[in-house]
Structure 1
Amino acid sequence: MAIVQNWLPPSRENWELVCYIWQFFPVITAFQWLLDWYPQGKTSTNFRFNIPGAIGWATMESAGFLTLVYIMNALPKELGIEELPWGNWTMAGCFVIHYTYRAVLSPLFLNPSMSPIHPLVWTLAFLFQIFNSTAIGGWLAGYGPTTVHDWAGRFWVMEIGLVLWAWGLLGNIFHDDDLREIRRAADRQQRQEAEKLGKPPKSVHKVYMIPKNGLFKYVLYAHYLCEWIEWAGFWMVGGWHCGPARMFLVNEIATMLPRALQGKRWYIQRFGKEKVGNRKAIIPGLV
């Protein structure tokens, strides 16, 4: 049963329209190169209608994998496809695993705290997820490969892509946890001091330090870099012809690169150029 007729799941015509529009997303990110205003995370601002960090992140990010799972289950029935090949489900599984971690486990269970999110950022991120998951979901659920033969002859490339995807995900988790440890250490210190003084502990949601482990020795946004590696592997699994996977990687770079450069300026302003040292923003030795 369709949730929105011809849109969720999408008809082929509407899916092609979504994919066409989605390729122009980098144009929308142009404002990030011009403005340092980005009211989320370490650069969040006080605003009356801010959304609590954990709830905001979970709701905007979950839209993606929930949409994809629905399309994967609903669209084949509408197209009369009895069974999708294992390659399709493998890519869908990679997508769901990543966002189960990013949209559910991280904000709701792992992160000690999260800064509030501006409604505009939430809306743009939500739309990113809807467009992206519709493009990828449509390709995997019937408008891309539909038989095992469509995957034949490229198993070794898929294996390399899956290894790259897995290492990217593990690197993303590792560097995310290094950032969390900064908050956890600050929280432990606050609780110890509060216990000595007999006062309630202070919030640590605005405690920041320069991370130094793993790739953080070389770049300030190592978790971003690892996510690019992850989705490059995902594209490799789908193949060069997998337009939605390619657009996903390109669009992530388009929005995360200016964010990382902005973040580097923030680190320098907050901690000084000497403490930041020779670290690049996101690509070791380059940017």
Structure 2
Amino acid sequence: MAIVQNWLPPSRENWELVCYIWQFFPVITAFQWLLDWYPQGKTSTECRFNIPGAIGWCTMESVGFTTLLYIMFTLPEEQGIEELPWGNWTMAACFVIHYIYRAVVSPLFLNPSMSPIHPLVWAMAALFQWFNAVSIGGWLAGHGPTTVNDWAGRYWTMEIGLVIWAWGLLGNIFHDDDLREIRRAADRKQRREAKEQGKPLEGVAKIYMLPKNGLFQYILYAHYFCEWVEWAGFWMVGGWNCHPARAFLINEITTMLPRAVQGKRWYIKKFGKDKVGNRKAVIPGLV
């Protein structure tokens, strides 16, 4: 049953319109090169309307995988497709696995703390997720490949793409956990001191240190870089003509790259240029 007729799930005409609009998303992100204002994470600001970090992150990021799953289970019936090929479900699984980790497991179970999120950031992120899920979901659920023959002759590139996707995901998880360990170590220290000295516990939400493990030796936003590798592999699985996967990768890079460059300026301001050293923002040896 359609939630919004011809939109969820999308008709081919509306899906093509969404994909067309989606390719211009980098224009919206251009303002990030001009402003350092980004009220989320380490650069969050005080606002009476701020959304608690974990809840805000979970709700805005969950828009993507829930929308994609809904489209995968409803659009084929509307299109008269009895069974989608395994390649479609493989790509859908990659998408859902990533966002269950990012949207549910990380904020609600793994992160020791999260800074509040401004409603504007929340709304933009939720909109990003919706456009992306409709674009990719429509392609996978009936407006893209619909038979096994559509995937024929591409098995080697699909396998290589899956390996790249998996390594990107593992790298993302590893570097995310390295950042979490900074907070966990601070929390353990505070609890030990509180027990020994009878001091009240303090929050660890605003405790930051320079991460040093893995690719953090070379770049400050290694988790961003690994996520780009992950979605490059995802695009490779879909094929170079899979324009929704291509748009996703391009839109992620244009959104996250200026954020990483801003973040490097923040690290230099907080810790000093000497401590940051020769590390780049997000791409080893380049940026």
Q: TM-score range by the shorter chain?
A: over 0.9
Where do residues 11-50 of structure 1 align in structure 2 (5 Å cutoff)? 11-50=11-50
RMSD: 0.5
Corresponding residue SS for 1:29: helix
Q: Does 1:155 align with 2:155?
A: yes
Q: Tell me if 1:137 matches 2:137.
A: yes
Q: 1:205 aligns to what?
A: 205
Q: How much has 1:198 moved relative to structure 2?
A: 2.1
Specify the SS of the correspondent of 1:139.
Answer: helix
CA separation in 2, counterparts of 1:237 and 1:200?
52
Within 5 Å, which residues of 2 pair with 1:45-124?
45-124=45-124
Q: Which amino acid aligns with 2:49?
A: F
Structure 2 gap segments, 5+ residues each: none
- Percent of aligned positions with the same letter in both sequences? 83
Matched, 1:267 2:267: yes
- 1:173-188 matches, within 5 Å, as 173-188=173-188
User: How much has 1:197 moved relative to structure 2?
Assistant: 2.6
Q: How many residues align?
A: 287
Q: How far does residue 253 in structure 1 lie from its aligned partner after superposition?
A: 0.2
| Residue matched to 1:193 | 193
Q: 4+ runs of 1 displaced by more than 4 Å?
A: none
- Aligned partners of 2:115, 2:196: CA distance in 1, in Å? 27
Q: Give the alignment's TM-score, normalised by structure 1.
A: 0.99
The one-letter code of the counterpart of 1:100 is I
Name the amino acid aligned to 1:253. I
Find the aligned partners of 1:250 and 1:223 in 2 and give their Cα distance. Answer: 17
Q: TM-score, normalised by structure 2?
A: 0.99
**Which AA in structure 2 matches 1:119?**
P
Amino acid corresponding to residue 166 of structure 1 in structure 2: A
Distance 1:94 1:75 in 2: 19
C-alpha displacement of 1:194: 1.3
- The Cα shift of 1:196 comes to 2.0
Query: What is the CA–CA distance in structure 1 between the aligned matches of 2:218 and 2:185, rounded to whole Å?
Result: 22
- Unmatched segments (≥5 aa) in structure 1: none
Q: Give the CA deviation at 1:200.
A: 3.0
- Give matches, 1:247-266, under 5 Å: 247-266=247-266
For 2:168, the aligned partner's letter is G
Secondary structure of the residue aligned to 1:229 is helix
